Amino acid sequence: MSYSDEYTEQILKTVNKASFLLSELHRSGPSFGDTIQSIISASRLEEHSEVSRFAEFVYSIVEALNSGGLDPNNEDVKSVISSALAEIIDIIKNNRHAADPKIEARMKVILRSAKSDERDYVFNKILKVLYVDEDRFAQSNIQKNIDKSIQIESCFSGEAALQRLKTNKFDAILCDLKLTNPDISKIFAEYSAKIPLIAISTSDDPRLVQLATKTGALDFITKNDTGVRRLPKSLHTVTTEWVKRNKLSNISQLLENPNSQKILKYFVESDSTIKQKIDCEVMYDWKSNDAIKDMNAVLESLVKAGYIIKEPTELILSCPKCNSRNIRLHYLCQNCNNSDFNKGDVLEHNKCGYSGLEDKFKDGDTLVCPKCRKQLKLIGVDYFKVESAYTCAKCSHFFTTPELRYSCNACGHDNFRISDGKWTELFTYRINPDKITKIKQTIVSLSPIKNFLEEKGFLIESNVNPNLKYTTATKFDLVARNQDQTILLIILGSDIEENFSKIVDLDTVSKTMPGRISKYAVIFSEPREVTRSLLKRFGIVPILVENVNNILEKFKEKYTENVKLELL
């Protein structure tokens, strides 16, 4: 099997990045590991098992470096990694499918020399853990042997633990699995959804492990030497995964928020930007009667999540007292601060030097100097006309530029100068082009397709959970059933691993269903080679939708083609 152009390009680019990170290995350990993982993922997707296996040795060395099992300043370690990266490039460029066994042997030697004290994890903070267990010996043993990155707070009863959980914050809970105790059972029931929880027991019965996971435990530790050694890694792993999961959950909630979807829909369909104005109380009413009063908050949330790019546009003056940009400008006489003045052209008599507004010189149809009373006849000889200026109606002061003062409409702060005010930036918001596919996944409506299939007699379900034991995908976007036929539809984005999971799950579920099965995948840009290959392999019909408004038209085309093929 040869390497595809897309795979080759991706691997060479990734290896070059890894080579760069290798020079700063003591600081770039996690990033370096992520880079190697992307090589492994891409190789698995294209079924290049030898490349994947070879890269896994490199990744194991990186894990040992991150955990302290290997010294990141060890030149032998850097040398073998460098040789391994060069070997991957040579494999791809020369279309080989087996790595140099000598390099693999060197990596195995390096790995065997790594410290094996079970502390192969990286921690950024000391974890505060509540340990609930009546077993005082186990409590004492764990306290004495636990890693310094774990701060254990012992609790000898479920009742006391429940009280502490109400008043204190913990990063994780380590709890004895005695579910016959009502207080322990309550801890699992109420707190497993709020705090990462690990079950601990003297028994290693597999049925007990299964029970622990069903009650919400993220891991299971046995009270023995091996379990105690594994405990620090387990606690750091579950807390890290918990943070990642919550972050993903928060992003999902943000994208499912109706206000977020309205804004993203505006960006996608209008191909425009959103600019702040001086009043800054932005209201959304594009093609809709609905308004978004918390527009700024929604925009900032989308910026933080990386879906919108925020760029500075201009500086404006704001109130020095309350920072409001809702301020009013006043134009005043420079002499008496009166705001009643007249504007006109200014004349200057070149004989006596008097200057003033043209109206002051008018005497019927002629011009007469108000000071020396001489008639002005020829411009440029008797007088000059200069720039426009102002005369105060109250004090008759003559000036070319009014005095500028400001007052705040929000707090009432009055009569402040430009030098007293604060400068505030206005911004322009635009869609992040790297997120367009993901955004289309979020905002696309399948209602036209649902209505079309319902007219043909299908019963429709949306966001159906595949309910597979080993599934990694979340939901199928549409399931339509009609007598002996089932239509399964998923929406794919640009994330290869997510696509892989959804495609495999779709194929797995379809094999368990009776009757005729039709499988469709909506995509918003030309799929990558690996995605295209997977769709073809599993008999999934791709529906390319570049404009979300044309989704029904595109689905009808593929649906009609598929029906004709089934009739042949």
Contacts of 185 (CB under 8 A, 6+ apart): 179, 215
pLDDT for residue 40 is more than 90: no
Contacts of 507 (CB under 8 A, 6+ apart): 519, 538, 539, 540
Q: What is the DSSP string of 19-45?
A: HHHHTTHHHHHHHHHHHHHHHHHHHHH
The topology (CATH level 3) of 127-252 is Rossmann fold (3.40.50)
Cα–Cα distance measured from residue 181 to residue 172, given in angstroms and rounded to the nearest whole number: 20
Q: To the nearest 10°, report the CA torsion of 473, 478, 484, 485.
A: -100
Residues 528, 533, 536, 540: is their CA dihedral positive or negative? negative
What pLDDT is attached to residue 458? 92
- Residue with the bigger pLDDT between 289 and 96: it is 96
Contacts of 168 (CB under 8 A, 6+ apart): 130, 153
What pLDDT is attached to residue 196? 92
Residues of the chain with CATH 3.40.50.2300: 127-252
What pLDDT is attached to residue 53? 81
What pLDDT is attached to residue 342? 82
CA neighbours closer than 13 Å in the CB half-sphere of residue 75? 0
Q: Binning pLDDT at 50, 70 and 90, where does residue 455 land? A: very high
What pLDDT is attached to residue 471? 39
Q: Where are the alpha helices (DSSP H) in 69-118?
A: 75-93, 101-113
Average pLDDT over the chain, rounded to an integer: 81
- Residue with the bigger pLDDT between 270 and 17: it is 17
pLDDT for residue 251 is more than 70: no
What pLDDT is attached to residue 469? 39
CATH number at 5-113: 1.20.120.160
- Run of H or E residues at 476: strand 476-482
Query: Percent of the chain scored above 70 by pLDDT?
Result: 87
Residue located via tokens 């426009």: 388
Q: Average of pLDDT values for 190-212?
A: 85
Residue located via tokens 């009643």: 340
Residues 73, 75, 79, 82: is their CA dihedral positive or negative? positive
Residue located via tokens 């989308």: 302
What pLDDT is attached to residue 172? 94
DSSP state of 3: P
What pLDDT is attached to residue 495? 66
Q: Average of pLDDT values for 337-341?
A: 89
- Residue with the bigger pLDDT between 270 and 538: it is 538
Each residue's pLDDT tens digit, 289-338: 455 666 778 888 888 888 888 888 888 889 999 988 888 999 999 899 88
Cα–Cα distance measured from residue 57 to residue 85, given in angstroms and rounded to the nearest whole number: 11
CA neighbours closer than 13 Å in the CB half-sphere of residue 212? 24
Cα–Cα distance measured from residue 442 to residue 207, given in angstroms and rounded to the nearest whole number: 40
CA distances (Å), origin 375, targets 200, 347, 351, 362, 380: 109, 13, 11, 10, 14
What pLDDT is attached to residue 279? 52
Cα–Cα distance measured from residue 325 to residue 173, given in angstroms and rounded to the nearest whole number: 48
Residue 549, token pair as written in the block: 């408004």
Q: How many helices (H) and strands (E) does the chain have?
A: 18, 22
Q: Binning pLDDT at 50, 70 and 90, where does residue 30 land? A: low
Strand partners, 490: 521
What pLDDT is attached to residue 27? 60
Cα–Cα distance measured from residue 205 to residue 219, given in angstroms and rounded to the nearest whole number: 14
Cα–Cα distance measured from residue 220 to residue 205, given in angstroms and rounded to the nearest whole number: 11
- Run of H or E residues at 18: helix 5-22
Q: Binning pLDDT at 50, 70 and 90, where does residue 465 land? A: low
Instruction: Let me know if 267 is exposed, middle or buried by CB neighbors in 10 A (0-12, 13-18, 19+).
Output: buried
Residues of the chain with CATH 3.40.1350.10: 444-567
pLDDT for residue 286 is more than 50: no
pLDDT for residue 483 is more than 50: yes
Residues of the chain with CATH 1.20.120.160: 5-113
Q: Binning pLDDT at 50, 70 and 90, where does residue 183 land? A: very high
CA distances (Å), origin 362, targets 60, 223, 303, 376, 396: 95, 107, 62, 10, 17
Residue 486, token pair as written in the block: 């089932």
Nearest to 541 by CA among 553, 524, 558: 558
Of 111-115, 148-152, 291-295, minimum mean pLDDT range: 291-295
* Angle value at C-alpha 162, between 156 and 164, nearest 5 degrees: 80
pLDDT for residue 260 is more than 50: yes
- Run of H or E residues at 430: strand 422-431
Strand partners, 368: 375
- Widest CA span of the chain, in angstroms? 118
Q: With beta carbons less than 8 A apart as the criterion, state whether 98 and 71 touch.
A: no
What pLDDT is attached to residue 319? 92
Cα–Cα distance measured from residue 164 to residue 249, given in angstroms and rounded to the nearest whole number: 27
What pLDDT is attached to residue 248? 57
Amino acid at 360: K
DSSP state of 462: E
Contacts of 393 (CB under 8 A, 6+ apart): 338, 340, 341, 342
Q: To the nearest 10°, report the CA torsion of 348, 351, 353, 354.
A: -60
Most confident of 13-17, 46-50, 114-118, 411-415: 411-415
Q: Average of pLDDT values for 367-391?
A: 85
Q: Average of pLDDT values for 241-265?
A: 72
- Residue with the bigger pLDDT between 508 and 540: it is 540
Residue 108, token pair as written in the block: 């195995």
CA neighbours closer than 13 Å in the CB half-sphere of residue 498? 11
Q: With beta carbons less than 8 A apart as the criterion, state whether 429 and 304 touch.
A: no
Amino acid at 41: S
Cα–Cα distance measured from residue 333 to residue 394, given in angstroms and rounded to the nearest whole number: 9
Q: Average of pLDDT values for 113-142?
A: 73
Each residue's pLDDT tens digit, 419-446: 899 988 888 888 888 787 777 777 777 8
The topology (CATH level 3) of 444-567 is Trna Endonuclease; Chain: A, domain 1 (3.40.1350)
What pLDDT is attached to residue 76? 84
Cα–Cα distance measured from residue 36 to residue 336, given in angstroms and rounded to the nearest whole number: 74
Cα–Cα distance measured from residue 358 to residue 378, given in angstroms and rounded to the nearest whole number: 14
What pLDDT is attached to residue 200? 92
